[in-house]
Structure 1
Amino acid sequence: MITTEKRFMGYQDVTLNREKGWIEITINRPEKLNSLRDKTAEEILDILNEVEHDRDVRAVILLGSEKAFCTGIDTSEFTVAENGYFDFYRFRKRSRKVNRLFREVQGFTKPLISAIEGFALGGGLELALVGDIIVAGANARFGLPEIKLGMMPGGGGTQTLARLIGKPLAKELMWTGRRITAAEAERYRILNHVTEAGKALEKAREIAKSISENAPIPVMMTKSVIDRGVDMALSDGFEAEGDASFLLYFTKDRDEGLAAFREKRSPDFRGE
């Protein structure tokens, strides 16, 4: 049974549900097809900052509506005051919550799963890409259409997508701005899973449950080593992995896991 967390009630742009082991953040701006404004980003960041310190939360699912996961940045926030371009540059660089969201999600220590139905366009796709796992319903559509508006991706898409699917295909998708289906996105390895339409959240919950049953410290450490390691030389990646793996020898969860294995029972991991 999902219950709403009282301390997170009153948000304008998102809603929060809690399951045993994970939380679900729903972008809730249907009149704007769940486009992101600074308020949306601020609320998501606030929740992520809180759950970083909640041992009972071991994963996060991010979702939108049946029609749209997220369609990018709210264009009403693109307005720049006359003679204010340098001020806006500084604001974007240091203070703008939407820009901070894309940067800080990458540093979130717990698994973030995006459950996508409908459109995931522009910043919506970029937001999913800075997370860890993407699950989509068969009706989902993906794209980086900024080129059609005289712009380019600004939420990390030129970096995350190229690393994921390779430069030639990433360039084609950005330079044409074309939308792709969930089946194409799975073929390109953008997605982990494609489900029946309307079933993405169900699959995301299945994954979150499986993750939440495992020791959270190794999950955190493997996430860190994988994310950092892709930009390292292989030898440096091996070194980082070895150090992180050795540190787990000092956790209580490692002792619990080994004891449970010997005693043929389910382990009780506490994140210690």
Structure 2
Amino acid sequence: MGPFPILVRSVVHHVGRKSNPFLSQLFGRGSYTRRVSPVSGSSYQWLNQSYRSLILQSASESVKMERLSGSDSGIIEVNLDRPEAKNAIGKDLLKGLQHTFESINRDSSINVVMICSSVPEVFCAGADLKERRTMNPSEVQFFVNSLRSTFSYLEALHVPTIAVIEGAALGGGLEMALSCDLRICGEDAVFGLPETGLAIIPGAGGTQRLPRLVGKSVAKELIFTSRKIGGKDAMLMGLVNYCVPAGEAHLKALEIARDINQKGPLAIRMAKRAIDRGIEIELPSGLELEEECYEQLLNTKDRLEGLAAFAEKRKPIYNGQ
């Protein structure tokens, strides 16, 4: 897998400034490079391998990854664990997310990812505004660009992702949930993009992903007013897939993850690719894309196993081959 994506303009703006304190904290000490290469079919660019190495040097204690076992093997839980700041996203937590998402994308044994919170009554409170106040405008721009590209990377993961939301998902927390394929919440969940109240706009994908999910008019009203909504309203407007009694979001998400985990993993990945890329193009081109994705599954062992299991009236055993 290629190096971790980040918006190139913000990085090039800082190239050569080895004394920049924000770069030192985010990437560690070292040289920086201007080399980039575009990714076909993507709206963002990828940095040179040297950036990836620097990022992987510093994982965060605020992001923990757990691999489930037994019949749940193939399911990964990513837990946000920064209770003192209600999982607010600062530089350290951002590094942890980047490291974790890259690790997931390199691991072919992973079939489903659940993004959860270890902190009661909160999913993610958004950006760490206390930390933000210590940054100058250039550092703020670099950080927000990094956060936006991190969520784009999350959205582009080759496996399905499920946001498990209990409590507050605000600002960058909601933008992270919007970058997942599915969203499951408890009735006590609270969603909102409060940025206009701080004289800015959602800068990590909120202005783009929210209207694509709930419609332009509804998204405008939520963003213009910074209005917060509960889990039931989020369900009615299509922001979440399921709203369950408070405290049961994880159980419901695990139920869905298990269902996905039993399906052919290559088929799930091709289905995600066909849907995500197809929705952005005209129908005829989308159908051609569907054909290409289908053809990639014709000669797989999993497809033959599925046919054999159907004929023998047994549960298929898929190996992702």
Global fold match (TM > 0.5): yes
Distance 1:18 1:87, change over 3 A: closer
1:259 corresponds to 2:308? yes
Contact 2:60 2:95 in 1 (8 A): no
Whether the aligned pair in 2 keeps the contact of 1:21 and 1:209 (CA below 8 Å) is: no
Please tell me whether the aligned partners of residues 184 and 249 of structure 2 are also in contact (alpha carbons under 8 angstroms). Answer: yes
Per the alignment, residue 67 of structure 1 pairs with 121
2:29 is matched with none
Matched, 1:12 2:65: no
| Separation in 2, partners of 1:219, 1:244 | 11
CA contact (8 A) 1:66 1:198 kept: no
1:45 paired residue number: 98
Counterpart of 2:205 (choices 153, 156, 169) is 156
Partner of 1:227: 276
Q: Name which of 79, 102, 122 aligns with 1:26.
A: 79
Matches of residues 1-272 of structure 1 in structure 2 within 5 Å?
11-19=60-68, 20-64=73-117, 65-79=119-133, 85-86=137-138, 89=141, 93=145, 96=146, 98-272=147-321
Whole-Å separation in 1 of the counterparts to 2:152 and 2:84: 26
Counterpart-to-counterpart distance in 2, 1:257 and 1:60 = 23
Q: Which deviations, in whole Å up to 9, do the C-alpha atoms of 1:50-92 show, x marking residues without a partner?
A: 22233332111001133110011111342466xx645654565
User: Is 1:136–1:200's contact at 8 Å kept on the other side of the alignment?
Assistant: yes
Determine the C-alpha separation between the residues in 2 that align with 1:91 and 1:53. Answer: 24
Distance 1:146 1:91 in 2: 16
Equivalent-residue separation in structure 2 for 1:91 and 1:205 (angstroms)? 32
Give the superposition deviation at 1:11: 4.2
After TM superposition, give the deviation of residue 210 of structure 1 in Å: 0.7
SS at match of 2:169: strand
Distance 1:34 1:227 in 2: 28
The structural deviation recorded for 1:17 is 2.2
Greater displacement, 184-193 / 231-240: 231-240
SS in 2 for 1:73: coil
In 1, Cα distance between the equivalents of 2:91 and 2:277?
Answer: 28
What amino acid is the match of 1:159? Q
- TM-superposed deviation, 1:229: 1.4
Opposite residue 180 of structure 1, the aligned amino acid is: I
Change (3 A) 1:88 1:189: closer
- Closer/same/farther in 2, CA of residues 184 and 223 from structure 1, 3 Å limit: same
What amino acid does structure 1 have at the position aligned with 2:166?
Answer: E
Cα contact 1:134–1:193 (8 A) shared by 2: yes
Tell me the SS of whatever aligns to 1:52.
Answer: helix
Give how far 1:196 is off: 0.8
Q: Distance in 2 between matches of 1:14 and 1:206?
A: 23
RMSD over aligned CA atoms reads 1.7
Q: How many percent identity over aligned positions? A: 38
Given that 1:80 and 1:88 are in contact with CA atoms closer than 8 Å, whether structure 2 keeps it comes out as: no
Distance 1:206 1:33 in 2: 26
Distance (whole Å) between structure 1 residues aligned to residue 111 and residue 93 of structure 2? 22
Cα deviation, 1:5-30, whole Å, max 9, x if unaligned, reads xxxxx841122222122111110111
SS at 1:250 equivalent: coil
Q: What's the TM-score once normalised by structure 2's chain length?
A: 0.76
CA-CA distance at 1:207 after TM superposition: 0.7
Residue 175 of structure 1 and its aligned partner are, at CA, apart by 0.3
How many pairs align? 258
Q: Distance in 2 between matches of 1:77 and 1:223?
A: 36
d(CA) in 2 for partners of 1:73, 1:56 = 32
1:242, CA displacement in angstroms? 1.2
